[in-house]
Each structure stands twice: as structure tokens, then as C-alpha cells.
Amino acid sequence: MFTSKILFFITAFVLIAVITGGCTEQDNSSTRESKVKTLDLAHYKDSKPDRMFRLLFIHHSCGGIWLADKGEALEIVPNSCLFARHPYGGGLRALLEQNNYEVHEAGYNSVIGDKTDVCDWNAKFRDRMDSILRCDRQDALYSDASKKNQIVMFKSCFPANAIESEGKEPGNPDSPDITTANYKSAYTKLLGYFNAHPDTLFVCVTAPPLVASYAGRFTELKRRLSDPEKSSKAVGERARRFNNWLKDTEKGWLAGYKLKNVVVYDFYDVLTGYGASNYTLYPTENGRDSHPSAEGNSIAAREFVQFLNRAVNRFRESQYLNNK
């Protein structure tokens, strides 16, 4: 009798583990939420600007790797994730420079570049906007006070997509609790700061996606049994909905925002195959690491430069019209 019970529980556990594993694979191919209305840049030229633009990118590891050339890892500044080369490099810096952008960065071990979780953006842009606009590299500012960054890119890293719950509206922009409500509150606060700087183009880059097995099989099993809302399927769907909200110009973050100085580049969507999955299709370390591969980074880099050129041309046209 005792042996039969043991065999029953072992069999049940194995069956649940197999089912969970199968569901995890299925989640990896789950399709996108319903389509949203995004910013239409199609009728703006994708040619490079006719003059140089200073661009600051606030990022951690994924951003530094995206900018880097592919090759043996070489940091520009030690322990900063500002890379000249990296095995997963996407070559974005070189492409930006070829398109008339002067690239500046702030990463780890700098006040401007450190702390890029969603809950950090409110305080960063509220309290450090002047330094952000004058940032040359890390915390070094331009010696010429008249120089400023005309473009500011900012991005959280892939853990930001592990959204734990919808949360409670209206949310708290400074809360470290990873909920959709808090995220929406944080980004909504930023629009007030961006509105006060109409001569700067702010480029929000969505966080890159997680690997489907980011939580591990055993943790996934426990979540499915005790709290299905934290299962990989639910987390992936929340990530998709939130990133869709960020770029939704009709019902999302930018709905009602009048200026043309804020755009969203959906890095998440590119790396999930434009909705083929809610998880990354370009993992590293044999599928265990959410840092995008060189292939994924290169695809996104080529697409991003065209996107940015169109966004800059739209931005410049709006400035011209407003100044007439």
C-alpha cells in the first residue's frame, strides 16, 4: 500500500512536469495580443540627417552589446558595459555613426547610467535632466555648456519583462513592485518631463524579451500549481500587453501626447519575431541566457537606424512648422 502511494505521487509529479514543460514550449510560440495602432513613420524619409545629431543612450549590458561591434569582448570603460566589441555585438554604434549620429553613453558605475529599472526612470529624468542633456560619457559632461544631446535613448534590461501581476491602478511610479499598473504610472510621469523639452527627441526602447525558461522548470511547476498568474504563459502575455501599450498611440502611453518628440522602438517585438512568441527567439548560452544573440542584435540594429532616421525627420519637420 505504501509503495503504491509512492509510485502514484512519483507518476503524478512526472506527468505534471512533462505537461508543464510542454506548456512552456507552447508559450514560446504564443502569438501576440490584438494589434495596436502604432506611430506611422512610413511617409518620412529613412535617409540619414543632413547634419550631425548628438545622441545619448542610457543602458546596461544589452544596450552596450547592441552598440558594440562583433568580436572579442572589449570594454571602453571598465565595468561599465560600454563595449567597443562583444561576441554578441550588433554593430549599432557603427551604423549610427555612418548615419550622422555622434554616439554618447552612460552605463553601470555612473550616476546617469546606473539604475535603469522602470521604477528608476521617474527620479532620473525628474532630478537629472540637465546632466542627461549634457552627458558626454558616464558622468562626464560636455565642457562647452552650450552643447547638448539632441536625442536621448533609454532602455531597461530584460528582467523588466518579468511582470508579476497587473497591480492596482493608478500605480506608483517609484515602486519596485513589478506590476503593470506601476509601470504605466512610471512612464506616464515621464511625459511631463519630455513635454518640457520639446527641442529634444526622446527614444524609449522597450526591454528585450526573456528566455522562455527564465524561471527554471521546478519554479515554473510550483507557479503553475500555486499561482497560475505567475506562470511563464501569464508573464509572457503581460509583457506583450505592456510593450504594446507603450507603443500604442491610440489607447496607450502616447495617446493624447501632442508633441512629436517622443517615439517608441519596440526592441521586444523584433526579438520575439514580431509576435511569433512572447519570449526571445534570439537567446544566448544555448537558450539559457536572455541577452540577445549577435544575429538578433544585428537585425534590430539595421531596423532601428531606419526607424530613427524617420523619427528624426518627423521631429525636425514638426520643429520647423512650430517655428514658422
Domain ranges for the chain: 50-323
Q: What is the CATH number of domain 50-323?
A: 3.40.50.1110
State how far the Cα of 316 lies from the Cα of 198, in Å rounded to an integer: 11
Alpha helices, DSSP H, located in 164-323: 180-195, 217-226, 232-247, 267-271, 294-323
Cell numbers 520639446 correspond to 198
Q: What pLDDT is recorded for position 229?
A: 83
For the chain (324 residues), the mean pLDDT of every run of 10, in chain order, is 46 41 41 76 96 98 98 98 98 98 98 98 98 98 96 98 97 98 98 98 98 66 63 96 98 97 98 98 97 98 98 90 54
Q: What is the dihedral of CA 70, 277, 155, 67, to 10 degrees?
A: 10
For residues 210 and 2, the answer to whether their CB atoms sit within 8 Å is: no
Angle at 234 (CA atoms; ends 232, 237), nearest 5 degrees:
105
- Residue 128, CB half-sphere, CA atoms under 13 Å: how many? 20
Q: What pLDDT is recorded for position 206?
A: 98
Q: What pLDDT is recorded for position 213?
A: 82
Could you list the beta-strand ranges (E) of the chain: 53-58, 69-70, 74-77, 82-86, 101-106, 135-137, 140-141, 151-155, 201-205, 262-265
